[in-house]
Chain A
Amino acid sequence: MATQVDDARIIEFDVRTDEMLVNMGPQHPSTHGVLRLVLRTDGEIVSEVEPHLGYLHRCAEKIGENLTPRQWIPYTDRMDYLAGMNMNLGWSLCVEKLIDHQLSEKAKHLRVIIAEMGRIASHLVGMGAYGLDLGTFSPFLYAFREREKILDLFEEACGARLTYSYLTPGGATADLPNGWLQKCEAFLDQFEPIIPEYHALLTTNAIFVKRTAGIGVMSGEMAVDFGCTGPVLRGSGVDYDLRRDGEERYTEMYDGYAFEVISQKDGHYPKDHDYPAVPAEAVLGDCWHRFYVRMLEVVQAIDLVRQAIDRYSTASGDWGVPIKLAHKLPKGEVYLETESPRGQMGFYLVSDGNAIPWRVRARSSCFCNLSVTSDLCRGCLIADVPAIVGSLDVVMGEIDR
């Protein structure tokens, strides 16, 4: 693509002789899709990283201006394609906020089950792919082995394995099939003892600790300043989780659930489980902590799903019927963020009173999380670049939308 730009800041156009400009991506094994990082390197040391986005831009927001909210659900699946359920949830809640739709208890618990299962599935990919970034292949397959089981459950619930379109404004497209809860519980019982295996292979592995501890350290203030959210924010020790601190429409889903926000407070993580110890080399806010928070959230999600299953089986009401395909939206504008696995996924919906929104905007968590790359990677080694970018756990589909 021959581009004619006069802007001197564009990195390709000023090459110094003693340094090397290297394109990491868009075709590169460890860029999680089609991220392109232009590295300015002096030997092995990276002096500057410039992310280039947009290789997966599919105009999702523009498409949203031509479809009704329910028709747009499949497009949310394709943003964060590793956590489609959580994207469905975010958009559904946003639309429900606009039309002021109240859900039954049962539907809320259903959503908790689905969203937390989606979180486990997404973090499993994050974990496995991070191992891949650091050069070990086996944890990736161990992670996918378990993820497949979750996808089997999802498939049974909604018929799809990746792009679910299951949670919709108004509830869900269908109730959970008979026996689903038992299968889900059986999965959790089987899955929970496997987590120490992951810890042995990655979290506490000496080489893994060497590769991640103290790398890409980001203070809590910096994380907030860059709008980092989710595990990236909590890995820097900021105690902020929308499931507890978010808008009421979202937090009421989790009312009465026992869970602690996973972040280091007073020098330690929640002690509700037998987690592996934090190694001495790890600095709060480094790659290791971001990874660790994700691993702990998997355990947390297991707990939440267990609680939700209990509540769901005794809750009153129905699972929620989706709104009409061309439900006429009231005039107004709403913004709602949910805690998706990668961070706070926000949807902004402007309606002029038609069934089709005037403007749809998706606030991507990875978009903000990725924006710290340049600052974190300055002065690191080439091998640290995949380690840092991997620890942010970005999904390009969500960044480029």
Chain B
Amino acid sequence: MAEFFQQIWDSFFQTSSESPGAIAYLVAAVIHCVLIIHVVAVGALIFIWMERKISGRIQDRLGPTRVGGAFGWLQTLADGIKLIAKEDITPKDADAMLFKAAPYVGFAASYCAYIALPFSDGWVAQHMNTAVFFILAVLGIEVFSPILAGYASGSKWSLFGAMREAAQVVSYEVPLGMCVVVPCMICGTLNLVTIGNMQAGSFTNWLAFNDPFTFIVACVYFTCATASVNRAPFDLAEAESELVAGFHTEYSGLRWSFFFMAEYGSMFLVSGLAAILFFGGWHGPIPIAEPIAGVLSLVVEPLLNFGRYVVGFVVGDLGQVTEGVVATQIANLMGCLNFLVKGTIGVTVMMWVRWTLPRLRIDQVMTTCLKYCVPIAAFGFLGALVWQVNDLPTSNDMPVIGKNRFEVRESWVYQAEKELRTTSGDQKSSPDDQQPPFDPHQATGSTELVPQGAFVMKGGAR
């Protein structure tokens, strides 16, 4: 994206630069930040409203109906205003500095994780090679928020909540990591964009349906993800019937709402991660996005070209839009919608579970993790590994419309294979001959598509 702004800058000031300047990066960074903060904050707004509506329906109620007209869709906003207006209380026994900092730690962590989460092919704030790992690492930091809050509140119930949170989240990171490794193993990359693109085509290409083991792993992942974001039936850290409100017992007003924004933020984050890792990311169940985008671009492209032509009178000739870019971006937009829908479905399932099931006890939560989730995840991992090593048939081989996942393997695999094959004297044809017809990783390497972040520059050198 920085390149894009540099282009604009250059065309405006009639300059030419090889790499984007500071201003371009700054603008790009600000736009990314604003977009992500809207995903988190507006997302929380919508999800809280959804939670109210869904829980209402589950419980034979209507939920909010008044604020904002039909369906009470402004209810959360009204609540937000109420929360802002509330008195901000710091208990006498609290460690004031930590007490005040704790909500922001959680919010910041939840927010940071979005940096690496792609919303569509290449639509990501920071296209990271190790996005999966980064998201897991940042999610691990989020646990500090309840711990610090509970410890700093100076209340025994808060402390109990913090201790439970620490024990629970640290334990659930183990099976969660194991589950996340499986798609990475199948795809041979930690790059979320690549993993998502490898599932292009019909839903049979989704990794959850790759083989029976990946489906098990997908289920375990969702369970562990629910636990790691502290949702019922694993919401022990704030168990209202036992610990009053757990770690946020002493919080009020805006600080309290930050915990909730972080919670809903991470809910969507883990759901989105599930969508990318197991459920095709931004690819719909039926590959119709590209044809539709192709048709739409027939209309949009001339319009854009005309716009460029008009603007060109002012800032100088801008030329034509690159062939195919419009179609790709429309497909991306549809992919983004797809992704948002999938993530929202994940969040909805979490809500459904929350309003249906009783809460587990702390020892049962740990048992679920250590005695069930970890072995099942390990079993799924091994099974998927064996499946992959022995080249057993996957749903990906089914004769359906779509592309073969392994046509888009990441290049380093080829490099390593080349190295190994040539040294072992393998006479098989060079992998270069099988150069994939479609390589989103390369495609995303092009300057138009990759929204580069502020700090690390120059996309793929290849």
Q: How many residues of B contact A (CB 8 A)?
A: 30
Choose among B232, B242, B358 the residue that contacts A382 (Cβ–Cβ < 8 A). B242
- Contacts A20-B156, A28-B244, A29-B241 given; indicate if A137 touches B355 (C-beta within 8 A): yes
Is residue A141 contacting chain B, with contact meaning CB distance below 8 A?
Answer: yes
Interchain CB contact (< 8 A) of A30 among B58, B236, B242: B242
Chain-A contact segment, one of B191-199, B273-281, B359-367:
B359-367
Q: Does B61 contact A (CB under 8 A)?
A: yes
How would residues 43 to 69 of chain A score, 1 for a CB under 8 Å from any chain B CB and 0 otherwise? 110000000000000000000000000
Among A142, A207, A383, the most chain B Cβ lie within 10 Å of the Cβ of A383
Residue in chain B with minimal CB distance to A387: B361
Q: Which of A44, A131, A142, A208 neighbours the largest number of chain B CB atoms within 10 Å of its CB?
A: A44
Q: Which of A15-31 contact B (CB under 8 A)?
A: 20, 22, 28-30
The complex places the Cα of A133 from the Cα of B164 at a distance, in Å, of: 18
Q: Which residues of B contact A385 (CB under 8 A)?
A: 242
Q: Would you call B65 an interface residue if the criterion is a C-beta within 8 Å of the partner chain's C-beta atoms?
A: no
One digit per residue, 1 when the CB lies within 8 angstroms of any chain B CB and 0 when it does not, for chain A 205-217 equals 1011011000000
Contact status of A138 and B59, CB under 8 A, knowing A29-B240, A207-B358, A211-B358: yes
- Could you say which of A28, A136, A202 has the most chain B C-beta atoms within 10 Å of its C-beta? A136
CB distance from A212 to the nearest CB of B (A): 9
Q: How many residues of A contact B (CB 8 A)?
A: 31
Task: Judge whether A381 is part of the interface by a CB distance below 8 angstroms.
Answer: yes
A205 near B363 with CB under 8 A, answer: no
Are B362 and A133 within 8 A (Cβ)?
no
The reply to whether B60 and A142 contact each other, CB–CB distance below 8 Å, is yes
Specify which chain A residues have a CB less than 8 angstroms from the CB of B60 in the assembled complex. 141-142, 145
Q: Which one of A22, A133, A201, A211 contacts B156 once the chains associate, using CB atoms below 8 Å? A: A22
Over the window 173-200 of chain A, the binary record of Cβ atoms lying under 8 Å from chain B Cβ atoms (1 yes, 0 no) is 0000000000000000000000000000
A43 to B162, CA, bound (A): 12
Chain B window 243-280, contacts with chain A (Cβ cutoff 8 Å), 1 for yes, 0 for no:
11000000000000000000000000000000000000
Find out whether the CB atom of B59 lies under 8 angstroms from the CB atom of A383.
no
Closest-CB distance, B147 to chain A (whole angstroms) = 16
With A and B bound together, what is the CA distance between A219 and B163 in angstroms?
34
Q: In B33-77, which residues have CB < 8 Å from any A CB?
A: 55, 58-61
Rounded to whole angstroms, the CA-CA distance of A59 and B355 in the bound complex is 40
Is residue B356 contacting chain A, with contact meaning CB distance below 8 A?
yes
- Cβ of B118 under 8 Å from chain A: no
Interface: B119 (CB within 8 A): no
Q: Mark A106-134, 1 if CB is under 8 A from B, else 0.
A: 00000000000000000000000001111
Evaluate contact between A141 and B59: CB separation under 8 angstroms.
yes
Report A-chain residues with C-beta under 8 Å of the C-beta of B160. Answer: 22, 44, 382
Residues of A within 8 A of B164 (CB): 44
Judging by beta carbons under 8 Å apart, are A210 and B241 in contact? no
**In the complex, A381 Cα to B239 Cα: how many Å?**
14
Q: Given A22-B157, A135-B235, A382-B242, do A205 and B59 touch, yes or no (CB 8 Å)?
A: no
Chain A CB within 8 A of B233 CB = yes
| Alpha-carbon distance between A138 and B232 when the two chains are bound, in angstroms | 13
Interface assignment of B357: CB less than 8 Å from any CB of chain A: yes
The answer to whether the Cβ of A386 comes within 8 Å of any Cβ in the partner chain is: yes
- Say yes or no: A211 contacts B59, CB within 8 Å: no
Q: Which residues of A contact B233 (CB under 8 A)?
A: 135, 207
State the CA gap A141–B62 with chains docked (Å): 12
Whether B244 lies near A29 (C-beta < 8 A) is: yes
Contact, CB under 8 Å: A133 / B241: yes
Within the complex, the shortest CB–CB distance from B208 to chain A, in Å, comes to 24
Residue of B nearest to A39 (CB): B156
Is A96 an interface position by the 8 A CB rule?
Answer: no
Query: A20 — which chain B residues lie within 8 A by C-beta?
Result: 156
Q: Are B241's CB and A205's CB within 8 A?
A: no
Distance (Å) between the CB of B167 and the closest chain A CB?
9
Q: Which of A132, A141, A201, A202 contacts B241 (CB 8 A)?
A: A132
B356: chain A residues at CB < 8 Å are: 136, 138, 201
**A142 in complex: contacting residue of B59, B242, B244, CB < 8 Å:** B59
List chain A residues, Cβ under 8 A from B364.
210-211
- Near A by CB (< 8 A), chain B positions 147-169 give 156-157, 160, 163-164
Asked whether, in the complex, the Cβ of B232 is within 8 Å of the Cβ of A135, the reply is yes
Contacting pair B241 A134 (CB below 8 A): yes
Contact B363 A135 (CB under 8 A): no
Q: Is the CB–CB distance between A207 and B360 below 8 Å?
A: yes
- Distance in angstroms from A348 CB to nearest chain B CB is 36
Closest CB-CB distance, B317 to chain A, in whole Å? 64
Closest beta carbon of chain B to A25's beta carbon, Å: 10
A residues less than 8 Å from B157 (CB atoms):
22
Q: Which residues of B contact A386 (CB under 8 A)?
A: 241-242
Is A286 an interface residue when CB atoms closer than 8 A count as contact?
A: no
Cα of A141 to Cα of B58 in the assembled complex, Å: 10
Which of B58, B61, B241, B363 touches A381 (beta carbons < 8 Å)? B363
Contact string against A for B residues 353-390, beta-carbon threshold 8 Å, 1 for contact and 0 otherwise: 00111111111100000000000000000000000000
Task: Tell whether, in the assembled complex, residue A135 and residue B240 are in contact, meaning their CB atoms are under 8 Å apart.
Answer: yes
Closest to B240 in A: A29
Least CB separation from B241: chain A residue: A30
Q: Would you call A137 and B59 a contact (CB within 8 A)?
A: yes
Contacts of B235 in A (CB 8 A): 135
Given A142-B59, A145-B60, A386-B242, A135 and B362 contact (CB-CB distance below 8 Å): no
A400 interface residue (CB < 8 Å to B) = no
Of residues A20, A135, A201, which shows the largest number of chain B Cβ atoms within 10 Å of its Cβ?
A135
- Complex Cα distance, B242 from A30, in Å, reads 7
The smallest C-beta distance from B207 to any residue of chain A, in angstroms, reads 28
- How far does the Cβ of B370 sit from chain A's closest Cβ, in whole Å? 16
A383 and B358 contacting across the interface, CB-CB below 8 Å: no
Q: Which residues of B are found within 8 Å of A208, using beta-carbon distances? A: 358
**Complex formed: what's the CA distance from A142 to B160 in Å?**
31
What is the CA–CA distance of A138 and B233 in the complex, to the nearest angstrom? 13
Which A residues, 344 to 401, have Cβ-Cβ distances below 8 Å to chain B?
381-386
Q: How far is the CA of A60 from the CA of B130 in the complex (A)?
A: 70
In the bound assembly, the distance between CA atoms of A335 and B59 in angstroms comes to 44
Q: Given A382-B242, A383-B242, check contact A135 B59 (CB 8 Å).
A: no
User: Contacts of A381 on B, CB cut-off 8 Å?
Assistant: 361-363
How many Å lie between the Cα of A281 and that of B360 in the bound state? 16
Contact B358–A205 (Cβ < 8 Å): yes
Q: Give complex CA distance A281, B157 in Å.
A: 30
Bound together, the chains give a CA A383 to CA B240 distance in angstroms of 10
Name the residue on B nearest A132 (C-beta): B241
Considering only CB atoms, which chain B residue lies closest to A131 in the complex? B358
- Contact between chains at A136 and B357 (CB < 8 Å): yes
A315 to B133, CA, bound (A): 78
How long is the Cα–Cα vector from A149 to B326 in the complex, in angstroms? 60
How far does the alpha carbon of A191 sit from the alpha carbon of B164 in the complex, in Å?
40
In the bound complex, residues from chain B placing their C-beta under 8 Å from that of A29 are: 240-241, 244
- CB of B359 within 8 A of CB of A134, answer yes
B105 to A: closest C-beta gap in Å? 25
A135 CB contact (under 8 Å) in B58, B156, B163, B239: B239
A-B contact sample (14 more), CB < 8 A, given A29-B240, A30-B242, A207-B357: A28-B244, A29-B241, A30-B240, A30-B241, A43-B163, A44-B160, A135-B358, A137-B55, A138-B55, A141-B59, A205-B357, A210-B360, A383-B239, A383-B362
Q: Identify 27 residue pairs between A and B in the complex whose beta-carbon atoms are under 8 Å apart, listed by A's number.
A: A22-B157, A29-B241, A30-B242, A43-B163, A44-B164, A131-B358, A134-B241, A135-B233, A135-B239, A135-B359, A136-B357, A137-B355, A138-B55, A138-B58, A138-B355, A141-B59, A141-B60, A201-B356, A202-B358, A205-B358, A210-B360, A211-B358, A211-B359, A211-B361, A383-B236, A383-B361, A384-B361
Closest 9 CB pairs of A and B: A135-B359, A30-B241, A134-B358, A136-B358, A141-B59, A383-B361, A207-B358, A138-B59, A22-B156
